[in-house]
Every structure is written in structure tokens, then in C-alpha cells.
């Protein structure tokens, strides 16, 4: 590839606009010459708004389109960047990939395992690169956590815990997140299964329980000082309790309740033979905290303390020498002076993580290598959620392999029929 890489953005909602900020950040790294040549949205005002943001940040107004097909007919495109509702990912991606156009798709790769496999197959047929825009693992805190695990600094991992409670009765960002195809449990929790896979690798067995706790949710708007509250009937689950088990006994536990009102809760920790690690929420910039008890801590245990932690966590001390091992060159360029944690606004951190996922994907396009989060990783993070949802319906633990190989599709069958792909593949 000699000239600039021509990018077409499809979907100009919440994330599409954030991708333009990511492109802006990327342009400041200077690693790839890229050009946002077009923006597509079925809602013309959103395409126009995105084109305006691009004009301001990237000094060039991209052309506006109402459909992917229209844009591909009019423009010379190297990379399609898909930021649409989850239920459309497999349709748009296949249309581009089969024409040999590289595709970066916002997570989750697609709405079901079958839909993911159709996208992977289209990339293979078209000989095009497929990347999944998975920003969470790119946060420096997750790079450091992964390094600590791999280094074995605290011995073997015994278990991993991710908990999130919140949401109340609100419509969570958009109404499509409450429909069955691409519902909020998949939409949010695929980040967490990607983290589990990143930290610990592919699990063997999955046990899950899921339910829809709220049937009605509300969007709230302040219209001239008046509260306008609109109800939305909900189809999708809002609770997932999943347990992933590994050969050798390690367990990863994911508990998410998005109907919980009042005080919320967020927690991620990894527990080792010789200590524990608490990893902060992505984009908060908090430090990775670790704790290693000593013999005298154990000696001093009271009856009450026997089943509880014995030493408070403190920020992991990373030396200047370790830094080059922990973080890649793009991360260090975007987070100058990085050790453990950073001090940036959510928006700044967000666009840096998006730039990092884009840089990785563009490297794969220009070098012919594979992106860090490609079809395999994207499929795995979706399959882990689907395995938990299938387990909940089947009332038994399921092997992740059964789900990856499409041996169990009872839960997903309804979505596949709705998407018109029940017998494809
Ligand atoms: N990585 C993250 O942190 C993060 C955060 C939010 C959303 N996302 C992901 O980004 C994607 C989009 O989410 P969002 O919150 O931006 O949704 P959104 O509803 O705000 O935006 C989606 C846009 O796509 C457009 N669209 C839908 N179908 C289309 C089609 N066929 N052709 C053209 N335009 C179409 C819609 O009109 C809308 O403007 C989802 O996959 C979501 O999971 C990721």
C-alpha cells in the first residue's frame, strides 16, 4: 500500500463519533497515513454531524452516504470501520469483506456464534483482514495486569472475579440494546469475556444463569424544565451470572446485574496463590493494586480475619526498566511517562484506546500480519457469553467447544431466525 489508507466509517452514532476522535489521536502518532474518505449512516443528520466533526478534527470533510453499498460504489475504500447496532454487523461486514475490503468491526463481532462464523468465513473468502475493535484490553491497566499474571509474580492464578451492578430502570444507552439480537448482556459482557480470555486464555466449561429482571425501562429527557419519561418494553436479559472453568481448576466468575437501582458496584480482581490484584475500571487511570501477605500477617490473624484478606492492597511498583516489557511502543507514545496509572479525562483516555486498536489493525493491513483482536478473539468473547446463555436455557454446564462448533444453539436459534441466518454455513 503506497498512498494513504482510505477509511469508510459506517454508523455515526455514539461510537462512530468516538472513532473519529480516535482517528484524530492516531494522526498525531504519525505511524500510518490515513484518510477518512466517507461516513455512512441510515439517518442523514447523523452522517452530516459526523462529517462536521471529521472536518473540524481531521481537516477534511468526508463524503456522506445513506448506505454502505452506495459508498462502496462511489469511493475507493481500503478499510471499512463498522460502528452500527450489533444485529447489523454480520450483514455489513460480509458485504465489505467478500469484496476484499478490510474490516474493523466494533465489538461484539456479531450477535451470535453463527453470525460471527459467517463474518470470519467472508474474510477468508475475500482474503481481507478482519479486526474487532476491542478497546478495554488496550488500557494500560490491563497490559500491566496481564504482565503481572504472565510473570508469575504472585504464583498461579486461582480465580478471577468481575462484578458490575447498576443501570436501574434506565434505557441503557439505546433501545436496540434491549432487543434480543445484540442485547445489553452481550454488548457489555463481551468486553469482560475478552478480558478473561486475554488474562487466562480459553476456558473449557461454562455454567450460566441469566434472566430479564425488568420488563419495562424508561428513557428520561429534560424538555424545557419538564421531565419527559417514556417507557420501553424490553426483550433482552439484564442479568448474567457466569462461571468459566479451566483445566487445572482455575475459575473465572462474571456477575452482572444491570437492573440494580441505587448504589452501584464495579469490581475486578485476580487471586493468586501468593497474593491478589485489583484492576481499575478502564479509562479511569487508577493504578493496578496488589497485595502479598507475609508469614507474620498470617501469624497475626484473628478468628474474624481468618476467612478475610490479611493485607491491604497498594499500587504495584513498576520500575522504569519494566516499562518497555509491559507496554508496546504505541501505548508509550500515547501515554507519555506511563508507569502504573495515568491522569486523563474519560474522553482523552477513550480516544487513545480507540487509536491503539486502530493502529494495531492498520499494522495488520500494511504488514499482512494478524491483528491482536481478530476473528478468533472476537468469536471467543461472543461464544463465552452465548455459552453462559445456552447453559441457562439448557439447565446444565456446557463445553465452550459445543458452542463454538454450533452443537448447541437453543438460545441463539431464535436470534438466528430473526436475522435470517438459521441455516447459513
Ligand atoms: N468499545 C466501546 O467502548 C463501545 C461503546 C459503545 C458502543 N460500542 C459498540 O459500537 C457499536 C455501535 O454502538 P453505538 O452505541 O454507537 O450505537 P448507536 O445506536 O449510537 O449508533 C449506531 C448507528 O448506526 C446507524 N446504523 C444502523 N444500521 C445501519 C446501516 N445498516 N447502515 C448505516 N447506518 C446504520 C444508526 O442509524 C446509528 O446512527 C456497537 O457494536 C456497540 O457495541 C462500543
Tens digit of pLDDT for each residue in 137-177? 999 999 999 999 999 999 999 999 999 999 999 999 999 99
Distance of CA 196 from the midpoint of ligand 1 (Å): 24
Distance of CA 82 from the midpoint of ligand 1 (Å): 8
Tens digit of pLDDT for each residue in 282-300? 999 999 999 999 999 998 8
**Which domains does the chain carry?**
5-136+356-371 (3.40.50.720), 137-344 (3.30.360.10)
Measured CA to CA in angstroms, residue 146 lies from 150, 242, 352 at distances of: 6, 21, 19
Residue tagged 480482581 (cell numbers): 269
187 lines ligand 1 (CB under 6 A): yes
Measured CA to CA in angstroms, residue 145 lies from 135, 194, 342 at distances of: 15, 14, 15
H or E stretch covering 194: helix 184-200
Q: 38 near 48, Cβ under 8 Å?
A: no
Q: Reply yes or no on whether the pLDDT at 30 is more than 80.
A: yes
43 lines ligand 1 (CB under 6 A): yes
Q: 157 near 270, Cβ under 8 Å?
A: yes
Q: How far apart are CA 81 and CA 75, in angstroms?
A: 14
Query: For residue 1, what pLDDT is reported?
Result: 67
Q: 106 near 16, Cβ under 8 Å?
A: no
- Cβ neighbours around 422 below 10 Å, total: 16
Q: 200 near 252, Cβ under 8 Å?
A: yes
Task: Name 88's Cβ contacts closer than 8 Å, sequence gap at least 6.
Answer: none
Taking the alpha carbons at both ends of the chain, their separation in whole angstroms is: 33
Instruction: Tell me the average pLDDT across 320-338.
Output: 95
**Secondary structure letter of residue 175 according to DSSP:** G
Residues paired with residue 219 on neighbouring β-strands, in sequence order: 230
Instruction: Tell me the average pLDDT across 184-208.
Output: 98
Q: 387 near 398, Cβ under 8 Å?
A: yes
- Mutation test of ligand 1: which of 8, 10, 13 has the most ligand atoms closer than 8 Å to its C-beta? 13
Q: How far apart are CA 411 and CA 408, in angstroms?
A: 8
Instruction: Tell me the average pLDDT across 30-47.
Output: 96
174 lines ligand 1 (CB under 6 A): yes
Please report, for the chain, how many H helices and E strands are present, in that order.
14, 17
Whose CA is closest to 130, among 179, 177, 181, 94? 94
Percent of the chain at pLDDT above 90?
A: 93
Q: How far apart are CA 83 and CA 329, in angstroms?
A: 27
Query: For residue 28, what pLDDT is reported?
Result: 86
H or E stretch covering 141: helix 140-151
Instruction: Tell me the average pLDDT across 123-128.
Output: 98
Query: For residue 3, what pLDDT is reported?
Result: 83
Q: For all residues of the chain together, what is the average pLDDT?
A: 96
Distance of CA 84 from the midpoint of ligand 1 (Å): 3
Q: Reply yes or no on whether the pLDDT at 244 is more than 90.
A: yes
- Mutation test of ligand 1: which of 9, 10, 14 has the most ligand atoms closer than 8 Å to its C-beta? 14
Q: What is the distance of C-alpha 342 from the center of its chain?
A: 21
377 lines ligand 1 (CB under 6 A): no
- Helix, strand, coil in percent for the chain, rounding step 5: 40, 25, 35
Instruction: Tell me the average pLDDT across 187-209.
Output: 98
b (16+ CB within 10 A) / e for 238-248: bbbbbbbbbee
Q: How far apart are CA 363 and CA 371, in angstroms?
A: 8
Percent of the chain at pLDDT above 70?
A: 100
Q: Reply yes or no on whether the pLDDT at 309 is more than 80.
A: no
281 lines ligand 1 (CB under 6 A): no
Which atom in ligand 1 lies closest to the alpha carbon of residue 11? 24
Q: Reply yes or no on whether the pLDDT at 212 is more than 80.
A: yes
Distance of CA 31 from the midpoint of ligand 1 (Å): 27
Q: What is the distance of C-alpha 102 from the center of its chain?
A: 19
Query: For residue 97, what pLDDT is reported?
Result: 98
Task: Name 366's Cβ contacts closer than 8 Å, sequence gap at least 6.
Answer: 1, 5, 32
Tens digit of pLDDT for each residue in 69-93? 999 999 999 999 999 999 999 999 9
Task: Name 422's Cβ contacts closer than 8 Å, sequence gap at least 6.
Answer: 114, 413, 416
Distance of CA 17 from the midpoint of ligand 1 (Å): 10
3-state secondary structure of 274: coil
Q: How far apart are CA 250 and CA 159, in angstroms?
A: 5
Peptide bond into 108 cis (omega under 30): yes
Query: For residue 305, what pLDDT is reported?
Result: 80
Distance of CA 90 from the midpoint of ligand 1 (Å): 13
Q: How far apart are CA 225 and CA 200, in angstroms?
A: 50
Distance of CA 276 from the midpoint of ligand 1 (Å): 37
406: alpha, beta or left? (left if phi > 0; alpha if psi -120 to 50): left
Q: How far apart are CA 186 and CA 178, in angstroms?
A: 11
Give nearest CA residue, ligand 1 atom 15: 14
Amino acid at each position: 500500500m503506497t498512498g494513504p489508507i482510505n477509511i469508510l466509517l459506517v454508523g455515526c452514532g455514539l461510537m462512530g463519533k468516538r472513532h473519529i476522535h480516535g482517528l484524530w489521536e492516531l494522526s498525531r502518532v504519525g505511524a500510518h497515513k490515513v484518510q477518512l474518505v466517507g461516513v455512512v449512516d441510515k439517518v442523514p443528520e447523523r452522517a452530516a454531524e459526523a462529517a462536521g466533526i471529521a472536518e473540524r478534527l481531521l481537516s477534511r470533510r468526508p463524503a456522506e452516504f445513506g448506505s454502505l453499498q452506495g459508498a462502496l460504489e462511489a469511493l475507493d475504500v481500503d478499510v471499512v470501520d463498522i460502528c452500527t447496532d450489533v444485529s447489523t454487523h454480520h450483514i455489513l461486514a460480509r458485504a465489505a469483506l467478500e469484496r476484499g475490503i478490510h474490516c474493523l468491526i466494533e465489538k461484539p463481532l456479531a450477535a451470535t456464534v453463527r453470525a460471527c462464523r459467517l463474518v470470519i468465513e467472508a474474510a477468508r473468502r475475500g482474503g481481507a483482514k478482519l479486526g474487532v475493535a476491542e478497546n478495554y484490553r488496550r488500557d494500560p491497566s490491563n497490559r500491566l495486569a496481564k504482565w503481572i499474571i504472565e510473570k508469575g509474580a504472585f504464583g498461579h492464578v486461582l480465580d478471577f472475579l468481575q462484578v458490575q451492578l447498576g443501570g436501574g430502570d434506565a434505557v441503557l444507552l439505546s433501545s436496540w440494546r434491549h432487543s434480543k439480537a445484540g442485547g445489553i448482556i452481550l454488548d457489555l459482557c463481551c468486553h469482560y469475556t475478552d478480558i478473561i480470555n486475554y488474562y487466562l486464555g480459553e476456558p473449557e466449561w461454562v455454567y450460566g444463569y441469566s434472566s430479564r429482571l425488568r420488563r419495562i425501562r424508561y428513557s428520561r429527557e429534560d424538555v424545557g424544565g419538564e421531565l419527559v419519561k417514556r417507557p420501553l418494553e424490553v426483550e433482552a436479559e439484564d442479568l448474567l451470572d457466569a462461571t468459566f472453568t479451566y483445566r487445572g481448576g482455575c475459575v473465572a466468575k462474571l456477575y452482572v446485574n444491570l437492573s440494580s437501582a441505587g448504589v452501584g458496584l464495579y469490581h475486578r480482581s485476580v487471586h493468586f496463590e501468593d497474593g491478589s490484584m485489583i484492576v481499575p475500571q478502564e479509562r479511569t487511570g487508577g493504578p493496578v493494586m496488589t497485595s502479598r501477605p507475609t508469614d507474620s500477617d498470617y501469624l497475626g490473624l484473628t478468628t474474624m480475619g481468618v476467612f478475610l484478606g490479611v493485607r491491604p492492597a497498594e499500587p504495584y511498583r513498576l520500575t522504569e526498566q519494566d516499562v518497555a516489557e509491559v507496554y508496546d511502543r504505541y501505548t508509550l507514545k500515547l501515554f507519555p511517562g506511563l508507569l502504573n496509572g495515568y491522569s486523563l479525562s474519560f474522553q482523552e483516555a477513550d480516544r487513545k484506546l480507540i487509536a491503539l486498536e486502530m493502529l494495531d489493525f492498520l499494522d495488520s493491513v500494511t504488514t499482512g500480519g494478524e491483528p491482536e483482536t481478530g476473528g478468533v478473539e472476537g468469536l471467543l468473547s461472543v461464544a463465552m457469553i452465548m455459552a453462559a446463555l445456552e447453559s441457562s436455557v439448557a439447565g446444565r454446564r456446557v463445553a465452550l467447544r459445543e458452542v463454538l462448533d454450533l452443537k448447541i444453539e437453543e438460545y441463539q436459534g431464535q436470534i438466528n431466525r430473526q436475522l435470517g441466518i438459521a441455516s447459513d454455513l
